Structure 1
Amino acid sequence: MRWIKFLILVPCTILLATKSFAQTDPTNFDITGIKLGMTPEQVEKILLTKYPNRFTEHSTKSEGYCADGLIAYRVQNQSTRTRQPVGNFKKCVWGITVVGADYFIKADFLEDLTTSIGAMRLTELSLQQYFRGAGKSAFASLKQQLLSKYGKPSSESPEVPDSYYSPVWGQQLKTAWISAKLEYHPYKGNEISLMLNLYSANDYKNNLTKIRDQYVESEVQKALPVRVNPGF
């Protein structure tokens, strides 16, 4: 009974009311209230609100150089020819991961220089949730929540006794795609697994990376001393 109670409470925090997949604006897509384009601070605030104990105890952040930090690092590296330049180069949050025995949440960010230096934006979000010993009635309840949010599955496997049942939702748009998968495993102690993914399109991510790389290279060349050709 404890697991069923947990099932009823947790998916309600995951499946916030939105329009179905019939919509065409990816900015309306969300997983547990998190949308593409959000900053690390916005994502962290939502996760901390919805999973206060889990986020505090089981979260990690991955950091890397922001564009201006990378520029400073490369300029010092190429000016002094040292392998490990000394300095406090600015870093940004590139990823947030929250892990527990029955869940996994991963958010990835890219720097959007079309906005400003250091503007990190969410480009990928994955959530996996497991409900052990929940039973088939709880599976039906969770499936109905998915149907209410996402509409009819794009594909659905046939139900087989003592096997698994796996409806899948998916929507591919020009700038983003989202998918959801729900599985019921009677042979694993009536375990239910929920997998949700929200990604920016590869073209969009590649463009952000290209803009950043070009900007960094241009600024590094401007900052380096001009080399004089002695003429012989």
Structure 2
Amino acid sequence: MQQYLNKIINGDSLEVLRKLPSNSVDAVITDPPYSSGGKTIAEKCQDPIMKYQQSGNKNAHHPTFLGDNKDSRSWLHWCNLWISECYRVLKPGGYFLMFTDWRQLPTASDALQIGEIAWRGVIAWDKTEGSRAPHKGYFRHQCEYIVWGTKGKCPKAEHAGPYPGCFRFPVKQSDKFNLTEKPTQLMEQLVSIVPEGHIILDPFAGSGTTLVAAKHMKRQFIGIEKDTGYAEIGLKRIAE
């Protein structure tokens, strides 16, 4: 296990997860590709830059990423594969937290339960009023969600808690290294569900924000990232 700790492993998440020992991590906190934006096949198959980057931020130049063009059924099947491995790798009572948006929220909750995680609720992330809306007649797409659960019984915490059911953090361009970046402050709150020194696993590490937050909060971590460019960004951020 020591060979994987406090590193980003550049590789396919499912392949790497299969190499990790069973009952070895305290929490899985991850932000997988949503395969969400767009109503038609053509729209879903667009480059994520076209789907997720707001029109006013075209000069941000965040790299694109792979694996975001699945339909709902294939996405559910894919989630079942890697969530089942996460279940095996989690210690009894370990936490599982997975980001999703409003489109995939029903499927994400199904995926959690199919993977044998005991589904315990939904946490809202309020991105604040800077969030986009197609026009004035729309409600803003202001929230994303975290479906969460545990491997078996949910343990009573002694180091902290109870934890908020809603977090309010804006997305800041100075803290954004990925098209779908989550704020570092948000991730620092989430990794704190386990005590210092415990192990956080992120199978879709992206630019490494979960891992940076874990390091800030004195938690150990294991990151997996398929894209070499993003893995390098994450490693640089951790080193800094």
TM-score normalised according to structure 1 size? 0.23
Structure with more contact order per residue of length (Cα contacts < 8 Å, sep ≥ 6): 2
The structure with the largest helix share of the pair is 1
The structure with the largest strand share of the pair is 1
Which has the greater radius of gyration?
1
TM-score normalised according to structure 2 size? 0.23
